[in-house]
Structure 1
């Protein structure tokens, strides 16, 4: 009798808790739809005034406010993922967005794009970084996502070079943790005779491959996703790619996280035609050429320190127009609307043969990790 009473109490309490959860779900659904109705009104106002749909400044402020309000137990990553999807749905209501990226699907660029824009937008893969720039410049796609540097392998030079030719702006940045898995169609690690992957992935997994697959032939591909496609066609072959690629191309994960160095991260840029307003936590990217005289670079960079700004990146690339002539790329923690940044630019212009702002945008935190 006692056990029967206990069972009844358990069932009754469980029913009550589930009813409470259902009521909250109902309220959440109603509130989300109410939010989207307001979003539609915002979209009509933006359309009337000719304003851009994506407002990185506003979205950055929303995330910052919600993270400060969150007292748990909701995990920060889950919070970011939930509201990324809600804001993606909001943008789609205002104007369906097309985002292009360095493909094919399931590349780390694709993953970074989905983490930034959510799953509601239309994604268009491209075979090269130049094609990503071209599609956004033509207006075929609203935004593009391209890799710009890796914490281990360094800068993606082709991306840097294309900014000289393009009038596109950097609208946002995204840090994506990179984790490599060994994928194959079936069998065990002992059956693998050939491994496909991108050259950078091979470089990042070199010690693991020497230890566990010393006799396997390594075949380079244009992307980790293309490597997964090849591995899916034949037994005895494998790919180094993402776990997302395993799901997409019906492969099995033979070994996880085979990269040699932990905390491997790639920085991606979201490129478009929007001018992004300041948030107070911003970054500005510049591109310039100095005179070919002693001390020229020092003189150009000196105003950054003089006006109390923090330089977080400096990269050089050959101009390709004249031997031993270089473009310099610099990232500064400030917004172009800041008075200190404007004064810095005024002084730098006096000392540069060429100076171009590549955009100001909200500064991403590389330690936040993936949103999905």
Structure 2
């Protein structure tokens, strides 16, 4: 009888909206999980969050909201996706959206170990715990329905190169760049297979950004006048070609799944090349401090050089987007990658 009831609910479910936005990844989508672990990779202090609701520094690496917050709002859900480890929220709050992301983490376990943050496999364990708690809260049938109609967003991978491969010899001494790219994509494939088994069907894999153009990377490129590092961007483009192939294969192999490619590389490059089209004035520096290297604890309230108007900047600090750029990213995603779910 229970199985029949669940079947009837499935037939009545529309495909027009998503039930929740469930997020995995790194600092690009961490809403404050790192606030509750022992790490220096935090941003729960001013001037972070100065343009957020109430001027609160929540642990988002931004002056305001993240792209996933805007995406949630665009789907008619809440305007802010809470961090799973934040004790201020309950399973009822998490039922329509939650992020398991951790700033500084990567697909590769070595990456998270280097900066003592939540490893990617642990994010998956939190999701399993979340599913168990949802089942207790609303029952197995409604939980299965919610998870099937939720949108899952994965935004991760930059740290695997910037913190790991290019900085320490653990991986670079054993893998060529091409081999390491394949290693990371295999981990991403395993992630999709795992959440598919747990009920996920609508999945967005965020592309690798043009990390050669991050202000911190530009700062190390002094001999070329702080230009974008083309060798880094070439790796990102190679990864994105492979990611597209992975997505095509997953859609062929897994019944009922819909995996989409959420492209941020081109979005960032368009903003850098045509800043006036978006209202940006500075494409190479972060708003915080000098904009050359400040992030995390180096971006603080004692830094007097922080800009007055972050809306003129693509980047908030030396790595992360400003709230305005996050809105640009989310708008592009809603019009393109997420169009099938509207």
User: TM-score of the superposition, structure 2-length normalised?
Assistant: 0.28
Larger Rg over CA atoms: 1
Which has the larger share of strand?
A: 1
Which has the larger share of helix?
A: 2
